[in-house]
Amino acid sequence: MIEEKIYLWDYIKKISVFKPVILYGMGSGADKILNLCAEKNIKISGVFASDEFVRGHYFRGFKVKKLCEIETEYEDFCILTAFATKENEVIDRIYKLSEKYELYAPNFPVFGVQYPDNDFFNENIGEIKKAYLMLADEISKRTYINAINFMFSGKLKYLKNIETKKSAALDLLDLQDGLHYIDVGAYNGDTILELINYSNNIKKITAFEPDKKNYEKLQKNVKNFQNCELYNIGAWSEENTLYFDSKSGKNSNFNAINPQKQKEICVNSLDNILNQTDLNSETLIKYDVEGSEYEALTGTKEIIKRYSPKLIVSLYHKNEDIFKLPLLIHSINPDYNFYIRKHKYIPCWDLNLYAVNKKKEKEKKMIINVIECL
């Protein structure tokens, strides 16, 4: 089912000899791509941006041009997108470009430097298969396979037919009255507000956000919700003090490159913090912690093992997350059904795991069957 056999960067290296390769976009994504191309001796012939961002400036030695200028300079070329977006207008623009030119969207990792190359897949193929076989429905399996094919090839065709609205994904969780929602990596409370708009079953909210500025916004945005417990700390596998990059807004994280220029932040495990909290299988925990999902889940193993809470876990911050995180949860508690859904984004970001206790799902299906029989 993995159709792609030629790794994106091997292909780009071959065609760059006879076709100009042009970068679309600037910023950290473009930096990663240019650094990788330099390592692999791949020639980049130019950089362009959307017209509104072109002001005669340079990026990494390239004059940033408009698309029309690139089209005047070259009759044909290959485009590499160098940014991530969920904006409908921008996504439509990228798809239209792909109809006219050869275009790829490299799935550069949000964190980490390893790209999903041949070695990556060969080393991890056993775990990739294990995670696939644990998925509970055909949509999840198709999403998983398409995501793997996209990671390897950068071809947009694998993203087109696997987008699911968040409301449809939340339906999988069958949220009941008295819900305790635990938001790990709450940012400014955006996901909390989404869930409140989706469901009126929320009884209590517990939220964790290590970044001070984000935390202050979080406090303001949830002030009208009465039963809300907020923690200005990071979720981790144990109690510790870590270096934190707080300059990335929503992407603030513990993957500090230069500790001397980062802030010290207190972290702790959910098992430690919530050990006196009344939890149950109707508890919902969301993990979106910018590359620290593995550590945060490890720090929740006693809660997961004992209560089988419903889970939403980001699978796209590191390339290995797509198989490593489902396997971790299964090793802690094998009584879960796993679903994968991807929401609108280029590249393959906003890819999430939804985990539900098998016994609860079985009970729900039995009730539905009884109702249908009546």
From the candidate CATH numbers 3.40.50.150, 1.20.120.160, 3.40.50.20, 3.40.50.720, the one assigned to the domain spanning 8-106: 3.40.50.20
Task: Render 176-189 in DSSP notation, one character per residue.
Answer: -TTEEEEEES-TTS
CB-CB neighbours of 197 under 10 Å? 9
Average pLDDT by stretches of 10, the chain with 374 residues: 89 96 94 93 96 94 97 97 95 96 91 78 94 97 96 94 93 94 97 94 95 95 93 94 66 51 85 91 94 96 96 95 97 97 95 92 56 53
In this prediction, residue 257 carries a pLDDT of 46
Helix runs in the chain, H state only:
8-15, 28-39, 67-73, 88-100, 118-133, 138-153, 157-160, 166-171, 190-198, 212-221, 270-273, 293-298, 301-307, 321-332, 358-373
User: In this structure, what token pair is assigned to residue 292?
Assistant: 């620290």
In this prediction, residue 160 carries a pLDDT of 87
Distance of CA 72 to the CA centre of its chain: 37
The DSSP call for residue 257 is: S
Q: Where are the domains of the chain?
A: 8-106, 162-367
d(CA 136, CA 70): 47
In this prediction, residue 278 carries a pLDDT of 84
Question: For tokens 């999840």, what's the residue?
Answer: 140
300-309 residues labelled b (16+ CB within 10 A) or e (exposed)? bbebbeebbb
Sign of CA dihedral 306, 307, 310, 312: negative
In this prediction, residue 247 carries a pLDDT of 58
In this prediction, residue 256 carries a pLDDT of 47
d(CA 260, CA 257): 9
Per CATH, the homologous superfamily of domain 162-367 is: Vaccinia Virus protein VP39 (3.40.50.150)
d(CA 242, CA 126): 33
d(CA 41, CA 17): 11
Query: How long a stretch of residues is the chain?
Result: 374
Equal fold, 8-106 vs 162-367: yes
Question: For tokens 């996901």, what's the residue?
Answer: 191
